[in-house]
Amino acid sequence: MEPGTYQYRKDIMRAQFVSADQPVEISCDESGSEGEKLIGGNTDVFTHASLCMDVESAASCIRGIRARGPSPAEEYKANVLLREKNRSALTWLLEPSGPIHGKAHVHLTDKTFLVVRRLAGLVAGETAHVPDTGPRRDRQAGDMAGDMAAVLYREGRRTFGHERWQPFLSSFNDLMRAGNGRGAGTSAEAFFDMVDVLCLAGAGSEVGEIMGLLRRARPRVESFLTRLLDDPRVIPTLDPLIPAIVRAVDFWGEGTRPVSIVHDRQTTLTEERVARIREMLGEPRPDGLPRSQGSRLAGLRFVASHSDARIQVADLLAGAARKIASDELNGRGDAELTALLRPYVDAFSIWGDDRSRSLLESASCTRP
């Protein structure tokens, strides 16, 4: 049943039924994480899954999966669930009558779109982390950076060809990572040399016009990079885990109560970054509306997946969602699995491709 229906909302509310002054506890895991390396890595999609269910229910879920897709592995992982011979276990997990329906939420990130969205943000003058959404919502909101990101995502490769566009995106990705002290990356000089080339190659096109704006924004971009190097408290600009956690808190605690997170071990979530997440939860939501005081991060603790069945279920959901979404993004989607995943997908996922987004995203999955 779709998230916009009465029954789905009722299921979500039942899953969260605690007193209003007590935090909702959710369990989370991710799939496809390569830090801030978003271009040229091993995966093109990042997923973050969150569950609101108790340990016994999660353990029962794992037992149900094992019964339908037997494995000798001590800890059942997503790669086992995704084997074709275990398809019945996967469909059972996701189907409307399955064990996680009304109790789970998935945030998707198209890594390439996150890169072009951040690039467009710098052109538009955004010098701090802002909530990232898909291009259609940005255009509806009249957002300059969102409009530019949509053009770059749609027309960049078509205008310049893969042999120029891919190295350009990789260079920008490396530039941002170097700014955060992560590897040698590339120099600003080398990056803007590439911008000059693309300005000429794209003359007369929308993308060429944006390249011209980027060239004129060079002083602002270099100033931002200096800030990244000088202030270790600055949050990573391209880590998809940060907006995903913000959305999980938004989703489960929207307007009613605080949220406490139990997360699989994650070294990138330092105290400084958790503090920044708390700050971001005080900023406007992706739709521009203010957040309620009830929607806040009450706590975050890490556990090993093998010791908590809830994290194991979140791992299975995140891994399955990443494979299903990546296949759909690349034009080889499985219609049945895409339809089964759709009710769980966050409407504010960071996704640039309109075709696959229309198949993956349930527009009403904005809050419980």
For residue 286, what are the CA distances in angstroms to 133, 138, 189, 276, 348? 7, 9, 34, 17, 7
Is residue 123 within 8 Å of residue 214, measured between CB atoms? yes
Determine the Cα angle at 108 with ends 261 and 267, to 5°. Answer: 45
Residue whose token pair is 């769980």: 344
What are the start-end ranges of the E strands in 133-180?
none
How do 24-31 and 45-51 pair as beta strands?
antiparallel
Residue whose token pair is 């009613």: 256
Cβ contacts of 165 within 8 Å, gap of 6 or more: 156, 157, 159
Q: Which residues are paired to 31 by β-bridges?
A: 47
Q: What is the pLDDT of residues 63-97, one digit of tens each?
A: 999 999 999 988 899 999 999 999 999 999 999 99
Is residue 217 within 8 Å of residue 123, measured between CB atoms? yes
Through-space distance between the first and last CA atoms of the chain, rounded to whole angstroms: 14
Regarding pTM above 0.85, the answer is yes
Nearest CA among 20, 78, 26, 77 for reference residue 53: 26
Residue 303 CA from chain centroid, whole number: 21
Is residue 101 within 8 Å of residue 7, measured between CB atoms? no
The full DSSP string for 264-297 is E--TT--HHHHHHHHHHTTSPPTTSPPPPTTSSE
User: Is residue 193 exposed (0-12), middle (13-18) or buried (19+ Cβ within 10 Å)?
Assistant: exposed
Is residue 13 within 8 Å of residue 3, measured between CB atoms? no
User: Is residue 182 exposed (0-12), middle (13-18) or buried (19+ Cβ within 10 Å)?
Assistant: middle
pLDDT of residue 14: 45
Report the alpha-carbon distance of residue 13 to residue 27 in Å, rounded.
16
pLDDT of residue 295: 64
pLDDT of residue 43: 97
Report the alpha-carbon distance of residue 171 to residue 188 in Å, rounded.
9
Reported for 177-185, long-range contacts at CB under 8 A and 24+ positions apart, including other chains, are 177/36, 177/37, 177/238, 178/225, 179/224, 179/225, 179/228, 179/229, 179/237, 180/36, 180/228, 180/234, 180/236, 180/237, 181/228, 181/229, 181/232, 182/35, 182/36
- Low-confidence stretches of the chain (pLDDT < 70) are 1-21, 127-142, 179-185, 232-236, 255-256, 283-295, 363-368
Q: What is the pLDDT of residues 211-258, one digit of tens each?
A: 999 999 999 999 888 887 777 556 667 899 999 999 999 899 876 689
Report the alpha-carbon distance of residue 364 to residue 105 in Å, rounded.
12
Q: Which residues are paired to 345 by β-bridges?
A: 106
